[in-house]
Structure 1
Amino acid sequence: MKTTTKAIFLVSALLLGGCATSSNNANDPFEGFNRTMFEFNDTVDRVALKPAATAYQEVLPSFAQTAVGNFFGNLGDIWTMVNNFLQGNVENGLSDGMRVAFNSTIGFGGLLDIASEAGITKHKEDFGQTLGVWGVESGPYVVLPFFGPSTMRDTVALPVDIYGDVWTYSTPVDRRNVGILVRTVDLRASALSATNLLEDAALDRYTFVRGAYLQRRESLIHKGEEPATKPQSDKIVDPQSDADHILLPITDAVVGVDGAAVEPPLPEAVENLANESVVLM
């Protein structure tokens, strides 16, 4: 998997080098390349990942799906703990450590989320957020093949996140890859309702996902506080409108295919799915 990841980064870097185009969004100078990768990823999702997630959700009992999510979430808490300490957030780091200890023991290896029931808050940190806390700028928005939405900062951080993922050290390799596949399908299943709503809405899905991802990442890095400088906000285009300048902020309701207002998918669902998508060997 790590060899495949390196190859993806190399190909993406070579393509990005020749794909800088003018864009209405200052955060997205590679929009031409990004839209191509967005369509590629969407095709992969439509042909393989979404059908697998739908079958998984229909066949596997809800308690089993919860156990799968809890198990991999518990492993993820380890890397979250490390990043909280790297960010100087000792209190949250200790809290994450307590979560892992509780869930790994009395939670039967993480199958049960005893820590949340005990009131211990679950956090979500990665090395991209850590770099952001350290003052590294996000850089341009990019869409990576298979991995989805990212920024230059998060792209640089992604290999570190992969090496920091406890499950990548699981042996034998076949079991590791099966686990990665199950985790990816489980996460895709958890985002089905959000992405179904996104597909039903009459909007530019690329623009929506870009805005949702960038806003979600800024919120995570700044712990929900307003950053000193905000990234250029994306607006959602209603394709049924003749006036291109009449746009909807991504935080507002968007227009459904029947003309009714619908709530936009949660940025967290989009961002979480993007962060957890991986490539198997």
Structure 2
Amino acid sequence: MNRRLPTTRMMRLLAGLGLLVLLAGCASSGDPRDPLEGFNRGVYQFNEGADEYVIHPIARGYKTVTPEIVDDGVTNFFGNLGEIVNFVNNLLQFKVEGSIMTVSRFMINTTIGIGGFFDVAGEAGIPRYKEDFGQTLGYWGVGSGPYVVLPLLGPSSVRDTGGLVADGFLNPIAYIDDDAWQYSLIALGFIDVKADMMRTRDLLSEAALDEYDFVKTAYFERRENQINDDAEGEGSMMYPGYDETFGQDDLDGAQDE
């Protein structure tokens, strides 16, 4: 039996993301955080088109045909898998309480919550301590590096892109040997995130004059807050940061301007 190591896919992903950054080296910007602005805006527009014509129609269909209890269960399932990432990164930051609570959440939801489909721990008042490797690097003093907009995944930075790849090694889905099952679960998790974010995305379109600059600024502010433990985010285990870029308070503030 020819089992492929998950590291092969991860190395290809890392190499591909690195190549995108290198190819963008000729683009420049007046914002020191965003020296690749020309490239990033191009990817941002690509993501907008993909959302409008492909991903959001699929996400709306998913919302339409999926009963709410099943939709919530899917979100809870992926969130429960994400507790593995949360635990390791809490541990790497010596956050003892977060580590203990994360283990408790995972054990309760995996057993009583039937594989994580029900957030029993959350109902019992046990909070989620969301941490990813990008936050861990920031905690230990690693700067964010240039802003990067990832195809389909959205706002990131060089540091957080590396963290995303590192966290991928902790994703149990990466170790599924059956490609059909693996890609199906990745696609389901992605569509579930997109479906849950559609209302926020619509509000963003109404609130911001320059969506690109608004998202970039909100991304850096929120990541700084998360590193300093000033903000908590639920997030997705496969796309940490994607659904945490901005919160309702950010959108309300933009609408007031």
State whether TM-score is above 0.5: yes
Residue 253 (structure 1) aligns with: 253
Determine which of 16, 21, 34 is the counterpart of 2:24: 16
- Corresponding residue SS for 2:149: strand
- Corresponding residue SS for 1:203: coil
TM-score by length of 1: 0.77
Determine which of 163, 166, 176 is the counterpart of 1:157: 163
Amino acid at match of 1:22: S
Residue 87 (structure 2) aligns with: 81
Give 1:3 shift.
5.9
Structure with bigger helix share is: 2
> 121-130 or 200-209, which moves further after superposition?
200-209
Residue 145 (structure 2) aligns with: 139
Compared CA separation, residues 152 and 220, structure 1 to 2 (3 A): same
- Corresponding residue SS for 2:148: strand
Residue 46 (structure 2) aligns with: 40
Give 1:16 shift.
2.4
Give 1:122 shift.
0.9
**Aligned counterparts of 1:39 and 1:251: Cα–Cα separation in 2:** 20
* Contact in 2 for aligned 1:129/1:220 (Cα 8 Å): yes
Give deviations 1:75-96, integer Å, cap 9, x for gaps: 0011100100001101101110
Structure whose alpha-carbon radius of gyration is higher: 1
Structure 1 alignment gaps of length 5 or more: 226-249, 256-260, 263-281
Determine which of 159, 184, 192 is the counterpart of 1:186: 192
Tell me whether 1:106 sits opposite 2:109 in the alignment. no
Give 1:140 shift.
1.6
Amino acid at match of 1:77: E
Alignment length (residue pairs): 232
Give 1:4 shift.
5.2
Structure 2 alignment gaps of length 5 or more: 1-8, 232-249
* Contact in 1 for aligned 2:143/2:159 (Cα 8 Å): yes
Give deviations 1:97-134, integer Å, cap 9, x for gaps: 00000000011010110101111111211100000001
**Aligned counterparts of 2:139 and 2:173: Cα–Cα separation in 1:** 26
Compared CA separation, residues 108 and 252, structure 1 to 2 (3 A): closer
Tell me whether 1:65 sits opposite 2:71 in the alignment. yes
Tell me whether 1:208 sits opposite 2:235 in the alignment. no
Residue 245 (structure 2) aligns with: none
Residue 62 (structure 2) aligns with: 56
**Aligned counterparts of 2:46 and 2:12: Cα–Cα separation in 1:** 17
* Contact in 1 for aligned 2:204/2:251 (Cα 8 Å): no
Give 1:163 shift.
1.4
**Aligned counterparts of 1:65 and 1:82: Cα–Cα separation in 2:** 27
Residue 2 (structure 1) aligns with: 10
TM-score by length of 2: 0.84
- Runs of 4+ off more than 6 Å: none
